[in-house]
A and B are shown apart, each in its own frame.
Chain A
């Protein structure tokens, strides 16, 4: 099976500061991969680089075609949904409008209607609150809305940045269960950045570890989970 995402020698900069120093990895379709690493290691930067939100060098292939010279909007149109850290909610739009914004890059109306149903089925609370302003939702509901917004693109690759941030453990469990369901039901490939390494490794089938802008270890989630160094540094036992 050919890779859906291939990243080779990816470098990225914030202004003059280089944040990634040659990151390489690839993802199989329908898989869930997680990026582990300490704060500031370059996890979020990797996602931002894929979406062309910052200056980069190196090659990124999506479905075999180069995307590293494309604009963010064009990458989205190819089917790469990016749910940013902090959720990126449109506070002053209603829940339904937030979802409709997520479907902006699509032109197939009947498909969009189906996906509204699908998102409301996955997150019934969004259906209840669909006429409410998104700013009035709780943190957990906003995270659900953010994932829903990403799904409205009917993406082939979903980039998720810290979906558990600031949420109560029960809510996090609920969201992760739904992520697994989304991956199994619709086969969307997921690239997950997550502080909570234990949770991330339990969901993902593959993982790699970034330190100071470089990949230092990669493999199946089970391998990394049983690695002593990872266990001490990131799983804390």
Chain B
């Protein structure tokens, strides 16, 4: 009885609230507020500013003198996948360390952990969207975060650049959020390069693939297989492991029975290390060459694979043009700041994303004589979309209509033990594809 009464008591105020709650701002107030602020800002400084900032549909960020320009990260910096996000975050930090000030304002990095899962992406995106002082977001780490996260960020008028979310769906014109861009490679591009190289470059017609159950790996394998089959090749084994597995010998034994000529396993450094070292122990696979993708393009993988790395192929951005900056500037700076070599593969993409944001801010920001900055969100997004021929660590970046900004020119590198022992960096490995 008591309980039933309290339930009634709960319902009653609902009607009360409906009846007497105060009138509140129009529903579009989220968009309206910044606009008003911008109008006020423009008005007060109108005489001095030659081009008064006209607020675009997404509003304007105003940065008062002494306030920082805020860039936010939305990366997985905690939990099982934290290396992925921490690596990218370091790339951002190094880019900011290179240019701590922009147009007279300091650049401040804030951000949220997004957990490498959909719910973490949603929560982090909602929080970032609530902060009206953020100019741009770098993230997400995983594609699963961006699927719910990108629309939230985008609807809030923000623009995001992902250094490592590679799933094709994110830049599919049907489903893409308008504010989503990425410096990471679309799986379709990288999968195709791998397939071309194996089929045409090496002339091998029978491959086996392994993915580790992460969306990155599964997506890349899917794209690879599609391109490879289209070329006329045969996928003789399609296997999967779990990202926590350490013993790959059983799955490799199964694969060996189908007699593949080549093994494609675009996973991460740890899993890549296990597969590469254990592959040599399995009868029938000792001499079968293997190939990974940019998730394994890291010194950690080379170390984890040990001697077995000899003859391994890795697809990655083509460093032959831009590689020297990476090796001569970025890596030493990284070592000095964090005392370890990069822990995953997307720091350079994050570094480039940060610099693209810098360039776009410089392009669209309007500055008052007292130092106040106005950044129109729509113009900023357009400026990012118009990025063209941007020379970054990961190549020559141009954003296409769907938000894919990564250099479409990918290379395949061959890792020779002699090069590793000679102390050569990853970017100085033998480039085997595309052939000139």
Q: Are A and B a genuine interacting pair, yes or no?
A: no
A residues near B (Cβ < 8 Å) are none
B residues near A (Cβ < 8 Å) are none
